């Protein structure tokens, strides 16, 4: 038997190439988490870069002066918004944590009333099956209560870790200043110290990533921010006019988080919330939540065609797999990170995917 060494050498090189890129991607993600303040500063700098260029064009000021003007405005907004956010989060999380058992007791009572409302004798369910259903519901609510309690405790611990937050915010603000003011110098230094071949390849991939992933994330962030702001304002208005809305900021954040997930949406939270309110006897609040959901959906449908296409070139089943994988690997935040990593991998291996991954690696040429 003759072994074609050239064929297996090519296969080995292709496999090694894929593994090295995946390893590099993993290291890049780990470094991104480790250097999160600098990553946040870089992302903010990309978002405010058009404003800096616009001021330079309109006023003919230098880049440094234009950058300082935008930097001061953005810093005031960020620091003021974070201060309000942290104070309100601590207040609402502490209050919800104290009332958590009461809420789940009410929810369990509502479920018991729902079981009693339906006549299960007509479908001939035995008492043993009904008991299993009730016990399973109780176990589910207990698990959900413990899960939510852990999230709230972690959130309170995060909010109360003021020194760590202050250091991260300080580093982010300082890094943002230098990136905005000395962007050209930083890019020149990076290009000067890297091999030309690396700079060329990185520039190509970075440009493609900014066009695909960057544009997608910017558009999605805008839509999520719009959903969060509308829900927050709407919930505060409902609270002011007398509806039983006790935790508007927490609910708005939760709605915004779910709305960020590619397959789900704000209706995943607001429709069950409205149904629970109606079953609890507060039909007016349930209707008000549905009206707020309709307003959010209409605004999103108006903005979405202008900001982002729904088709990002990834089938929903693969997006769902990425969300589940991210959740299993790094927890709840992985629901957001998974699809982002999927888009990055698809962009890096676009040629390989278009030609067929295993076909490209193992087919004889």
pLDDT of residue 138: 65
Report domain extents, the chain. Answer: 23-193, 217-310
Span of 121-135, 257-271, 323-337 with lowest mean pLDDT: 121-135
pLDDT of residue 111: 67
Residue 21 clears pLDDT 80, i.e. is over it: no
- Contact residues for 340 (Cβ-Cβ < 8 A; gap 6+): 213, 217
For 269, the enclosing helix (H) or strand (E) is helix 267-279
pLDDT of residue 357: 59
Which token pair is 288? Answer: 């008000």
Distance from C-alpha of 293 to C-alpha of 230, rounded to nearest angstrom? 9
Note the pLDDT tens digit of each residue in 179-188. Answer: 888 877 777 7
- pLDDT tier for residue 5 given thresholds of 50, 70 and 90: low
- Which of residues 109 and 134 earns the better pLDDT score? 109
Distance from C-alpha of 257 to C-alpha of 271, rounded to nearest angstrom? 15
Note the pLDDT tens digit of each residue in 197-240. Answer: 666 666 666 676 666 666 667 777 777 888 888 999 999 998 88
Distance from C-alpha of 159 to C-alpha of 330, rounded to nearest angstrom? 21
Distance from C-alpha of 243 to C-alpha of 280, rounded to nearest angstrom? 14
pLDDT of residue 304: 66
pLDDT of residue 126: 61
- pLDDT tier for residue 264 given thresholds of 50, 70 and 90: confident
pLDDT of residue 46: 79
- Which of residues 200 and 150 earns the better pLDDT score? 150
Residue 78 clears pLDDT 80, i.e. is over it: yes
Residue 189 clears pLDDT 80, i.e. is over it: no
Distance from C-alpha of 108 to C-alpha of 142, rounded to nearest angstrom? 10
- pLDDT tier for residue 133 given thresholds of 50, 70 and 90: low
- pLDDT tier for residue 134 given thresholds of 50, 70 and 90: low
86, 250 contact by CB (below 8 A):
no
- Tracing tokens 């953005």 back to the chain, one arrives at 74
pLDDT of residue 163: 72
Note the pLDDT tens digit of each residue in 24-59. Answer: 878 877 888 888 888 888 888 878 888 888 888 888
Percent of the chain at pLDDT exceeding 70: 72
Distance from C-alpha of 230 to C-alpha of 258, rounded to nearest angstrom? 15
Residue 141 clears pLDDT 70, i.e. is over it: no
Whole-prediction pTM value?
A: 0.65
Residue 63 clears pLDDT 80, i.e. is over it: yes
- Which of residues 113 and 95 earns the better pLDDT score? 95
325, 338 contact by CB (below 8 A):
yes
Sign of CA dihedral 274, 279, 280, 285: positive
- Contact residues for 282 (Cβ-Cβ < 8 A; gap 6+): 244
């Amino acid at each position: 038997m003759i072994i074609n060494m050239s064929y297996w050498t090519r296969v080995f090189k292709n496999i090694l190439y894929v593994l090295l890129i995946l390893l590099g991607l993993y290291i890049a993600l780990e470094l991104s988490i480790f250097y999160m303040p600098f990553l946040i500063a870089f992302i903010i700098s990309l978002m405010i870069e058009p404003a800096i260029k616009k001021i330079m064009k309109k006023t003919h000021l230098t880049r440094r002066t234009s950058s300082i003007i935008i930097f001061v405005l953005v810093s005031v907004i960020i620091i003021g918004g974070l201060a309000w956010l942290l104070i309100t989060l601590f207040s609402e999380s502490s209050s919800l944590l104290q009332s958590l058992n009461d809420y789940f007791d009410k929810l369990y009572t509502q479920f018991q009333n729902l079981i009693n409302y339906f006549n299960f004798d007509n479908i001939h369910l035995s008492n043993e099956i009904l008991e299993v259903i009730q016990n399973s519901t109780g176990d589910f609510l207990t698990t959900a209560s413990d899960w939510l309690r852990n999230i709230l405790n972690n959130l309170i611990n995060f909010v109360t870790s003021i020194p760590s937050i202050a250091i991260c915010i300080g580093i982010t603000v300082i890094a943002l200043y230098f990136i905005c003011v000395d962007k050209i110098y930083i890019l020149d230094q990076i290009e000067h110290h890297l091999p030309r071949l690396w700079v060329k390849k990185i520039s190509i991939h970075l440009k493609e990533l900014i066009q695909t992933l960057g544009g997608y994330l910017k558009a999605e962030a805008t839509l999520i921010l719009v959903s969060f702001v509308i829900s927050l304002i709407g919930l505060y208005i409902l609270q002011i006019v007398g509806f039983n809305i006790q935790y508007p900021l927490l609910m708005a954040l939760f709605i915004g988080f779910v709305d960020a997930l590619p397959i789900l949406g704000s209706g995943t939270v607001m429709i069950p919330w409205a149904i629970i309110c109606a079953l609890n006897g507060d039909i007016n609040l349930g209707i008000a939540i549905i009206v707020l959901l309709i307003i959010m959906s209409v605004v999103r449908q108006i903005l979405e065609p202008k900001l982002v296409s729904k088709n990002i070139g990834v089938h929903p089943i693969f997006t769902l797999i990425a969300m589940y994988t991210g959740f299993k690997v790094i927890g709840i935040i992985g629901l957001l990170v998974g699809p982002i990593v999927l888009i990055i991998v698809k962009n890096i291996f676009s040629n390989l995917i278009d030609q067929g991954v295993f076909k490209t690696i193992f087919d004889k040429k």
